[in-house]
Homo-oligomer: A and B are copies of this chain.
Amino acid sequence: MAESFGPGELDRIIHLLAKLPGLGPRSARRAALHLLKRRDALMRPLADSLSIAADKVVACETCGNLDTIDPCGICRDTRRDETRICVVKEVGDLWALERAAVFRGRYHVTGGLLSALDGVGPEELNIDGLAVRAEAPEVTEVILAMDATVDGQTTAHYIVDRLAGCGVEISRLARGVPVGGELDYLDDGTLAQALKARRGV
């Protein structure tokens, strides 16, 4: 006890918080103290929310999005364009696109990227489900919104092969200079892609 840095229950919280991405042992200790100072405003609501979400949040059987209902709110929303499916690697990417509010179609979450290094094969991703959905008569376009990394592009190529013969148009996100990007900070690959894909003004 004396050699430890707090009583058992606190040690346990710090140990668990330190497993979160973005937190290490030091910031987990600070977070634990912060929580203890705000028990009613933060600590108990967080405990309740975590417990409720652990039971209630499920992955949508159709698209893989996380929601408290299945099919998820996006799949159920009849105002959304059902002719377009945007393919992302994980729910965080779907949230990013929703925050940008630039896409009003449906999504498909693969659950990861193909990776020879990490031993992730097609059978571990939800690509079969996408192939089935792409066969539906109302679907006209599949947009591949994968990372512009080796694994992201490998996955995109694999999906293009799998969907060949479906008769849907397949597109991918544009590459180029990010908004707000300064040219002399960009890598050579991005500059090359931006120059190759230049547009008339």
Tell me the A residues contacting B by CB distance below 8 Å: 1-10, 12-13, 16-17, 19-23, 27, 29-31, 33-36, 38-39, 42-54, 56-57, 66-69, 72-74, 77, 79-80, 90-92, 95-96, 98-99, 101, 104
Interface of A is mostly: helix
Give the number of times this chain occurs in the complex, counting copies: 2
How long is the Cα–Cα vector from A43 to B49 in the complex, in angstroms? Answer: 10
A13's contact among B2, B12, B46, B69, by CB below 8 Å, is which? B46
Name the one of B3, B7, B90, B92 contacting A67, with C-beta atoms under 8 angstroms: B7
- If A22-B23, A33-B91, A92-B30 touch, does A4 touch B54 (CB 8 Å cutoff)? no
Contact partner of A21 among B27, B57, B90, B96, CB < 8 A? B27
